[in-house]
Structure 1
Amino acid sequence: MSVSQSIVNSIIKVILRATCKIDTSELYKIPKKGPYILVINHISFLEAPIFYIFMRPRRTIAMAKSELWDKKVTAFLMNLWEVLPIKRGTIDIQGMKNCVKVLEGGDFLCLAPEGTRSGDGQLGSGKAGVIMFAQKGNAPIIPMAHWGGEKLSSNLKKLKRTPFVIRVGDPVEIAVPEGVKMDSTVRQQIADEVMVEIAKLMPEEYHGVYKGKTDVEPQYLRRIKESVIN
């Protein structure tokens, strides 16, 4: 870690500790080394520094919309944290190649399948594009869920610390039966199944569009045995 990274991370960590009560008790479930794809729900800006800082010493590389590099402050943080820019609304070939390189290097690639912040913590539909990264990178997927960050603004006004809960699920891998064509419909089904894995880790009040679907067995995901991980 560079000197600038160490200084900025330390400052942000102090701020986070002062404003939030962060439950990181399940981060031990994540292997110390990759490659793995970490998929999370997307609520607010808060999750980015929390996951980046508290996941250490694991080297995690996240994807983010390229527009974040338009402003000096966010561009500085994105570059400091080695975030990969992704162009939205198009097939970003170079962005995809950069993500695959992260996995080939044995690191953790962080994705938010929803593609945009919910603001209120309710799960939105996963985007099929995230499955392309999982396919190309040929890496297991670890679902992660978090909630509480949606209350940060209101709690700050009340001078209250915000509880921020993180939960980690069992790793899965994409397993498409032989003879099934991997088309856009199947990719969307897989994306939804990944989002259901996230929903299973959360209180029902946050399930959003996946409410009532957590009891359905996945068709294209297969759980990985612990012995394989370790």
Structure 2
Amino acid sequence: MYYIVKFLVRLYFRVMYKMTIEGRENIPKDTTVIYACNHRSNADPPMLGAWAKGKFAFMAKEELFRNKLFAWLIRSLGAFPVVRGKGDTGVIDTSVDRLDSGRSLMIFPEGTRSKDGKVGRGHTGAALISARSGKQIVPSGICYGEKLKFRTPITLKFGAPIDPAEYCEVCDEPNPRQLVKLKNRYMADIKFLVEVEPEEQTETKENESNE
């Protein structure tokens, strides 16, 4: 059922919008990862999940689980509840468990939807989960104009994976300062994917390869 639903969701986005997918080859194979993505609309989780490899899990506000039928549907797709604004530390343990059980994790580190399309500062939740689990972070970007409407051109981009071991010790209690450095890295990569024009991205990559 899971992959049938995933296929139908992908088909829906292909029909509704002009989808372009870039960088899917960057997603590591045969392992779970953490997708850290910018947040534009409620369509982001299913859109990202439609092209994520394998099965995935994602956090959803607890209010969405009050309707039993809808709760069953999103749980079957990998959702688990999080209590916003109350320091729900148990969600970190749940996230690590999902990664260890064979599901990749989708996180929107800005914590809220962007109204102008610009990428915000972000939080360290993805960094903490990555350091606790040892799983790589795949920066991701959803790019389109001001409004999402029928046949809007959308580009979904996947960047190069980030190994948490390059920034902090992989353990149950990682160093907070190191987590900030890891957070700054994936937020910078997300911003690069979303806000830098394709021509500038190509030029930047060429300059990096020549250094």
**Per-residue deviation, residues 72-96 of structure 1 (Å, max 9, x unmatched):** 5653442231112222223323322
Q: TM-score, normalised by structure 1?
A: 0.72
The answer for unaligned runs of 5 or more in structure 1 is 206-214, 216-230
Supply the AA of the counterpart residue of 1:98: T
Q: Does 2:71 correspond to 1:81?
A: no
Unaligned runs of 5+ in 2: 198-203, 205-211
- Give the match for residue 200 of structure 2: none
Deviations 1:98-118 (A, max 9, x none): 111122124311111111111
Report how far residue 71 of structure 1 moved.
Answer: 4.2
Task: Kindly provide the CA deviation profile for residues 92-145 of structure 1, in whole angstroms up to 9, marking residues without a partner as x.
Answer: 233222111122124311111111111332111111233221121111111111
Match of 2:21 among 15, 19, 24: 24
Aligned partners of 1:117 and 1:73: how far apart in 2?
25
3-state SS in 2 of match to 1:38 = strand
Are 2:167 and 2:179, in contact at CA under 8 Å, matched by a contact in 1? no
2-side partners of 1:125 and 1:147: how far apart? 17
**2:87 — aligned with what?**
91
Counterpart mapping for 1:1-230 below 5 A: 1=1, 6=4, 8-9=5-6, 11-56=8-53, 58-71=54-67, 74-148=70-144, 150-152=146-148, 155-156=149-150, 161-174=151-164, 175-176=166-167, 182-183=175-176, 185-204=177-196
Tell me the residue number matched to 2:209.
none
Describe the shift of the 1:47–1:132 C-alpha distance in structure 2 as closer, same or farther (beyond 3 A).
same
Alpha carbons 2:168, 2:175 under 8 Å: kept: no
Q: 1:204 to 1:173 in 2, by over 3 A?
A: same
**CA RMSD across the alignment:** 2.7
Size of the aligned set, in residue pairs, is 193
Query: TM-score, normalised on structure 2?
Result: 0.77
Percent identical pairs in the alignment equals: 28
Letter in 2 for 1:96: I
